[in-house]
Structure 1
Amino acid sequence: MPRNVTPGLPTRQQVLDFIASTDEPAGKREIARAFGLSAQDKIVLKALLHDMADEGLIDSAPGRAFHKMGGLPKVTVLRVADVDDGGNVWAVPEHWEAETPPPRLRVRERKRGQLGIGERVLARTEEAGSGWIAHPLKTLAKASEQVLGVLRADGDRFWLTGVEKKERREFAVSDTGGAAAGDLVLAEKTGRSPRITVRVTERLGDPFAPRSFSLIAIHKHGIPDHFADETIAEAEEAATLDIGQDRQDLRHLPIVAIDPVDARDHDDAVWATPDDDPANAGGWKAIVAIADVSFYVRPGSEIDREARRRGNSVYFPDRVVPMLPEILSAHVCSLVEGEDRAALACHLQVTPSGTLKSWRFTRAVLRIAANLAYEEAQAAIDGELVHPLTDTALRPLWDCWRALLAAREKREPLDLDLPERRVVLDEKGRIMSVAPRERLDAHRLIEDYMIAANVAAAKALEAKKSPVMYRDHEQPSREKLVALKDYLETFDIPFTLGQVVLPKTFNRILDKVGESEFRPQVMEQILRTQTQAYYGPANTGHFGLSLGSYAHFTSPIRRYADLLVHRSLVRAYNLGDGALTTGEADGMERIGQSISGFERRAMEAERDTIDRYVAAFLSERVGQTVEARITGVQNYGFFATVEGVGGDGLMPVRDLGGEYFRFDEAARTLTGETSGELYTLGQRLELRLAEANSISGALRFELPTGKGAAAPSEADRRRGGPRVLKRRGRPANIRHQGGRR
């Protein structure tokens, strides 16, 4: 019997004391055993515990163990929410029903550095002073490793169909969690192979409802999409800060913000005028003004911790999951027309040849003259739209930009003009169109001003010997260059290994390709040859932009890396509150790794969502013939995309006909051994859209009726159908029959 426990029916306080003192989960059975209760007493105990729960004294955890209301179960599931500058790991309860904010627990790792943000652990909790300590017992599956799918009923049994394109299995459901057939749910795998089942942990609703596709990505990738009450309260308080008088006043300048027509926040604004400095005759003065987020989001605050936990905003066609609470991201920090706003201004001197002569940074107050859409600014400069700011603001911007453009062309950065798909929704979230986003000079103008400011920020911090969160992009690895060489040989395009590879090396390849029909495929292959850009305190340069020093400075509303660069500039130039701390400076490498991972997570989530919208848009064309282009060839078939819309789908080799198919790995081709029918990268052809699954985002194609390879011979039929012969040292005999590989 535990210490300090007297046999007999306990009082409310004795129950609370026992729950607080025991090291094990305290369920009804454990409480009854501790107080030596009889069978009759257990009935009374059950009523007592029920009353205590109704009175708000205790709460129950999964497994029916009790804990003090507002407290934590002795053993519970936690999610790692933060890793601070000192390397301390902090977690919060995965499920929290109390009205009070969830507690933050410091996790005592068995081995330092094992746990990262988003990890889930089963842990024993311990109240220590005014805080909590967590002792991990075992690591659980991450949210991204859980199963997201749709429930299907089969008699009195339920099955879960996953939303992943590659997930072909269905899982038996052991617990529906109150969800019904057709519901989109989040489930956790239980058991061991081959008897794995799933238990529904969260019902997400109708997977086909408007605006559900982004919700699928949010849950699949574990993207935090709700702010805690204390974070919102802190943001509301920060929004009331007086921006102060100790700022450079730029309100007299016609500074404009040029953004997408559907922009949800406005980080940046620009201004330019001819330079009156005789030492820079024919040059330009320019200002790139960026929202002064570091003034409102201070290091160590709840807003800051949450921003670091998110790493960046995530943009979907129907919503944005912001890095900062809306009162900051969409209001106080957003540079909107006619409102005084705090800004960190980058003052540039641009030479007539477009190089940067000098730069400096100030904290400023400005009032945006206009928020313009790219299309609106372009129409004004082209004379197709009369706008009052055309001569005073836009023409000087364009004239200065032409100098920046000349400098850009001289350094020859990587020039891959790959189209971006834009999904247009109506007010109810229904898809109106999917089409490539038009790229205008206005887009290039803003891009070049932002690049100039980013370069200036990196070089300014280097000159001050201050910490820099660089945007690094290393040159391609030899392995990828060898693969590119093999690929280009199939088009009779030479590529010499051993040469000094520069961005212009790839531009020359595209010059040789010209406007041939396989140009998009070569561009995509060159893109795949590039390394993944990342954030870090060590400068490796930016290969793609052909720049030696580069940092992200221009989007602190939506990127944590930019916020760190702002703080470093505030510290380097002694600009006041919100400067980079010593802890942040020391933790740059770890923070860079973390936010680089969050960036990749956002990119995957955004891409998955676009794929689902495209599949939903194309679902009305199932059974129709569409114009398609082959984007990938494998031994089991080829992938194709619908021209002008996008979305990749598989054309299985088993549906190409009954003959043998030879797969050439280097050339990425499938060739019919009897008919000579050839399928190759970049090939345009007509295909029948057989399936468009909006839940997984997957498409499947078939050949139009009457087309395809030769009918199978008698020998082929005896062998079981089509077969692929694979070259380049791989297994040669891969048989396809009965829909299986």
Structure 2
Amino acid sequence: MSTLPDKNQILEWIREHPGETSKRDVARAFGIKGADRIELKRILRELEAEGEIRKAGNHIQHPEGLPPVSVLRVTGPDRAGDLWAEPAQWEEPGDPPRILLRLRSHEPALGEGDRILARLSPQEDEGAAYTGRLIRRIGQGPRKVIGIFRETEEGGRILSIERKQGHEWIVPRGERHGARDGELVEAEQSGPRDRLGMPRARVVRRLGDPTAPRAVSLIAIHAHGIPDEFPEETLTEAEAQAARPVGPGSRTDLRHLPLITIDPADARDHDDAVCALPDPENEGGHLVWVAIADVAHYVRPGSALDREARNRGNSTYFPDRVVPMLPETLSGDLCSLHEGVDRACIAVEMRLDADGRRIGHRFVRGLMRSPAALTYEQVQRAVDGTPDEATEPLVEPVLKPLWAAYQAAAEARERRAPLHLDLPERKIVLDPEGTVLSVAFRDRLEAHKLIEEFMILANVCAAETLEKKRTPLLYRVHEEPDAEKLDSLRDVAEASGLTLAKGQVLTTRSLNKLLDAAAGREVAELINMSVLRSMQQAYYAPQNFGHFGLALRAYAHFTSPIRRYADLVVHRALVSAHGWGEDGLSPQEIEILEATAEWISGTERRSMQAERETTDRYLAAYLADRVGGEFAGRISGVARFGVFVTLDETGADGLVPIGSLGGEYFHYDRDAQTLMGDRSGREIALGQRVTVRLAEAEAVTGGLLFEVLEIEGKALPQGESRRPSRGTPKRKLARDKAKRAKIARKIRRGGRTRD
């Protein structure tokens, strides 16, 4: 006869065997047979009535527990790159348990919102209640939708704000989440297409008036999922740092050095300072100091601040706001090198010879006090001979030595031959309400180049030091362009009357010859943009693949730890390499360095896209009142469906639909990047000057539509039909195409290439 266990024994066994929790499993474990099974059933019913267990199908579990095989919803990766999930259905009080997913290499990549069937095991560490193993994916995650809600009789519709989507979603009655007609909303796709072919969606968040000036950046923040609110624990931790004053202690006292900050007039943080002195041991040489805010002192590995900084990856900058990587207490105060106050820093002293060559460097963990916070314009005016009250006493002792060191470094830079890209940066000026007042191009001063050059040198020093000390780090990698992109660049150059040599190892010097040939000509901006587009996108990696654009063997980001997590990792690596304290790179961080590199490379791309889209929307809003106006520009892209035009005045980009180019039919030549009219024989190509009329400006999407009035000073001919014509024009088209092919063959045989 079997001995029945008591309730505590049964509960303990269920807790220890979550994967074997059916009534049959309990009976087998305690050897319960025959009529005793009826008594076991009674005990289990009592435990369920007492709330000690609950039944889920054939499984028995604790009320707070989950079945060993459960349906989960993937919540996405965390800052460490680990993938997490939660129960697809959770009706218990409190937050649902967190489940750490362990995927095998052959299993599919999972995204936020995916529904999966998984096998669970209890987990008592790593912040997880369970670990989960994928059995199969049973549904894709809902698609995020950002758009304008329009009320209808059946509930509503959402009109996409994304130009590339171009369709609508139906919102059933009861799933509008209180949205009002005309509001900007965030929604998720909730069902298949209806009989009209439109998918269903449910509103999950109301974002307000889409025409409000400051809604422009809000759209990008929500569309790209950029975290814009700090968790309470992060803010609390940041405030606590104010109670940790930094004294000299074991730090190197640098307060005697004239380390000035030079930033834009509207800078929101000041994380770098510079100064230069004559090198007494190196005739004609210079000692250049670059001091960077010691963010690692305040943001410790594994802390709430660190987790949120890694999650954000970087700060995101919009014309009307910044979404910072760190809370204001740090980014705007403790880690900002304000004038006249002591600040913790990590600094590098670089020795340059008279020709600007770097002949040595050393890093220190120091304490500094900046004597002045200056703007680029202030410094430039002072060096040019018109100092103001703040800069006049600094010209001789501070600015002139700094300028002399920069001029030497600039000569060494030219010998290295990094890319000579000269791209105008647009500046959008807003009034206090957020309305665009003006759009212009920022002046690029020598003062900008000075700071840029010294920051690059400091970054190189960081990479070289960590390599020498064999300390893991994150490199900033920029690989050389691929062949296909170079072919496209050659097409653009040829259309502009320029060439790019072929048949040799590509170097930055080759590209610089093209850029220098275009300098001062009308095609200069087009060539610069085309060279930029031919480049691979830079990224972060724990392996060193060099930096093509800067013509550097090893490069790491060190100079902006307030706004880039990669720089904070490099700071911690320097702390570890020099033995400066216990706040260096932890073993756990080193273990996930690859995942960190991939994660923050992604957050950087996310921010760049959000910033670019926001600029487009501001430009469209600025030009909305000028619909019907005429503008000068240049053709910057050619496609089968039309041409893209960049305006001279603002740098705004817009589309000329092929249907508005005239009645004739246009043949598209993908290789030559041209459109040719079948009746007129007119060729439309990259780089041509155009006059256009603004036909449409949609602020919510950022879309601009143009009509071409003139190409290269001549009115665009208007044909009678968009169908291919017969006779001479078509034969002429064929002859022209054959001629171009023949020329191309000659060029290939002769070793010449198109730029």
TM range (shorter): 0.7 to 0.9
Preserved contact between residue 481 and residue 497 of structure 1 (Cα < 8 Å): no
Match of 1:146 among 140, 144, 147: 144
Determine the C-alpha separation between the residues in 1 that align with 2:519 and 2:160. Answer: 43
2:98 pairs with 1:105: yes
Cα 1:80–1:712 change in 2 (3 A) is same
Match of 1:648 among 649, 653, 657: 653
Determine the C-alpha separation between the residues in 2 that align with 1:543 and 1:619. Answer: 40
1:359 is aligned to 361
Letter in 1 for 2:100: V
1:237 is aligned to 240
2:156 pairs with 1:158: yes
Cα 1:113–1:292 change in 2 (3 A) is farther
2:82 pairs with 1:82: no
Determine the C-alpha separation between the residues in 2 that align with 1:247 and 1:105. Answer: 42
Preserved contact between residue 80 and residue 115 of structure 1 (Cα < 8 Å): no
Determine the C-alpha separation between the residues in 2 that align with 1:556 and 1:540. Answer: 22
The unaligned stretches of length 5 or more in structure 1 are: 27-33, 35-66, 69-73, 730-741
Letter in 2 for 1:248: T
Match of 1:264 among 234, 243, 268: 268
Determine the C-alpha separation between the residues in 1 that align with 2:385 and 2:424. Answer: 26
Preserved contact between residue 488 and residue 495 of structure 1 (Cα < 8 Å): yes
1:382 is aligned to 384
1:205 is aligned to 208
1:31 is aligned to none
1:190 is aligned to 190
Deviation at 1:459, TM superposition (A): 0.9
2:249 pairs with 1:249: no
Preserved contact between residue 83 and residue 117 of structure 1 (Cα < 8 Å): no
Preserved contact between residue 496 and residue 523 of structure 2 (Cα < 8 Å): no
Preserved contact between residue 189 and residue 198 of structure 1 (Cα < 8 Å): yes
In structure 2, the residue corresponding to 1:389 is in which secondary structure?
Answer: helix
Deviation at 1:344, TM superposition (A): 0.4
Cα 1:209–1:286 change in 2 (3 A) is same
Matches for 1:591-670 after TM superposition, within 5 Å? 591-670=596-675
Preserved contact between residue 88 and residue 106 of structure 1 (Cα < 8 Å): no
Preserved contact between residue 89 and residue 115 of structure 1 (Cα < 8 Å): no
Preserved contact between residue 621 and residue 699 of structure 2 (Cα < 8 Å): yes
Per-residue CA distance 1:94-117 (angstroms, 9 max, x = gap): 9999999x7882412343696989
Preserved contact between residue 274 and residue 285 of structure 1 (Cα < 8 Å): yes
Deviates more, 1:368-377 or 1:439-448: 368-377
Determine the C-alpha separation between the residues in 1 that align with 2:151 and 2:183. Answer: 11
Deviation at 1:292, TM superposition (A): 0.4
2:716 is aligned to 708
Letter in 2 for 1:234: E
Per-residue CA distance 1:653-686 (angstroms, 9 max, x = gap): 1111111223232332223222343422222222
Determine the C-alpha separation between the residues in 2 that align with 1:92 and 1:336. Answer: 45
Match of 1:687 among 692, 705, 716: 692
Per-residue CA distance 1:561-589 (angstroms, 9 max, x = gap): 11111111111111113111123223322
Cα 1:292–1:442 change in 2 (3 A) is same
Cα 1:665–1:376 change in 2 (3 A) is same
Determine the C-alpha separation between the residues in 2 that align with 1:648 and 1:98. Answer: 52
2:514 pairs with 1:509: yes
Preserved contact between residue 669 and residue 678 of structure 1 (Cα < 8 Å): yes
2:180 pairs with 1:180: yes
Determine the C-alpha separation between the residues in 2 that align with 1:492 and 1:438. Answer: 28
Preserved contact between residue 48 and residue 55 of structure 2 (Cα < 8 Å): no
Preserved contact between residue 85 and residue 101 of structure 2 (Cα < 8 Å): no
In structure 2, the residue corresponding to 1:237 is in which secondary structure?
Answer: helix
Determine the C-alpha separation between the residues in 2 that align with 1:99 and 1:430. Answer: 46
Match of 2:283 among 281, 284, 291: 281
Deviates more, 1:488-497 or 1:518-527: 488-497
In structure 2, the residue corresponding to 1:413 is in which secondary structure?
Answer: coil
Letter in 2 for 1:163: I
Determine the C-alpha separation between the residues in 1 that align with 2:608 and 2:339. Answer: 30
Preserved contact between residue 690 and residue 708 of structure 2 (Cα < 8 Å): no
2:54 pairs with 1:17: no
Cα 1:457–1:113 change in 2 (3 A) is farther
TM-score (norm 1): 0.83
In structure 2, the residue corresponding to 1:551 is in which secondary structure?
Answer: coil
2:32 is aligned to none
Preserved contact between residue 270 and residue 337 of structure 2 (Cα < 8 Å): yes
Determine the C-alpha separation between the residues in 2 that align with 1:694 and 1:15. Answer: 60
Match of 1:303 among 296, 302, 305: 305
Deviation at 1:515, TM superposition (A): 2.8
Match of 2:704 among 694, 699, 704: 699
Deviation at 1:5, TM superposition (A): 10
Determine the C-alpha separation between the residues in 1 that align with 2:325 and 2:58. Answer: 37
Deviation at 1:405, TM superposition (A): 0.7
Match of 1:170 among 168, 171, 189: 168
Determine the C-alpha separation between the residues in 2 that align with 1:24 and 1:199. Answer: 30
Deviation at 1:716, TM superposition (A): 7.2
1:472 is aligned to 477
Per-residue CA distance 1:210-250 (angstroms, 9 max, x = gap): 21111111111111112111121122223322324111111
2:677 pairs with 1:672: yes
Query: What percent identity do the matched residue pairs reach?
Result: 45
Per-residue CA distance 1:174-193 (angstroms, 9 max, x = gap): 22121111111111113234
Determine the C-alpha separation between the residues in 2 that align with 1:16 and 1:269. Answer: 67
Letter in 2 for 1:354: G
Deviation at 1:495, TM superposition (A): 3.1
Deviation at 1:490, TM superposition (A): 3.4
1:733 is aligned to none
Determine the C-alpha separation between the residues in 2 that align with 1:16 and 1:591. Answer: 47
Matches for 1:492-503 after TM superposition, within 5 Å? 492-503=497-508
Letter in 2 for 1:352: A
2:577 pairs with 1:572: yes
Note the aligned Cα RMSD (angstroms). 3.6
Letter in 2 for 1:712: E
In structure 2, the residue corresponding to 1:120 is in which secondary structure?
Answer: coil
Deviation at 1:611, TM superposition (A): 0.6
Determine the C-alpha separation between the residues in 2 that align with 1:16 and 1:218. Answer: 48
Letter in 2 for 1:82: D
In structure 2, the residue corresponding to 1:17 is in which secondary structure?
Answer: coil
Per-residue CA distance 1:337-359 (angstroms, 9 max, x = gap): 12211100111111111111111
2:12 is aligned to none
In structure 2, the residue corresponding to 1:589 is in which secondary structure?
Answer: helix
Deviation at 1:294, TM superposition (A): 0.8
Letter in 2 for 1:627: A
Determine the C-alpha separation between the residues in 1 that align with 2:450 and 2:560. Answer: 16
Cα 1:303–1:92 change in 2 (3 A) is farther
Determine the C-alpha separation between the residues in 1 that align with 2:650 and 2:519. Answer: 23
Aligned residues: 675
The unaligned stretches of length 5 or more in structure 2 are: 1-20, 24-39, 65-69, 739-755
Letter in 2 for 1:167: Q
Determine the C-alpha separation between the residues in 2 that align with 1:207 and 1:474. Answer: 40
Bigger Cα Rg: 2
Determine the C-alpha separation between the residues in 1 that align with 2:219 and 2:50. Answer: 41
Cα 1:656–1:335 change in 2 (3 A) is same
Cα 1:127–1:253 change in 2 (3 A) is same
Preserved contact between residue 92 and residue 104 of structure 1 (Cα < 8 Å): yes
In structure 2, the residue corresponding to 1:300 is in which secondary structure?
Answer: coil
Deviates more, 1:449-458 or 1:196-205: 196-205
Match of 1:217 among 200, 217, 220: 220
Deviation at 1:467, TM superposition (A): 1.4
1:424 is aligned to 429
Preserved contact between residue 347 and residue 363 of structure 2 (Cα < 8 Å): yes
Determine the C-alpha separation between the residues in 1 that align with 2:410 and 2:537. Answer: 25
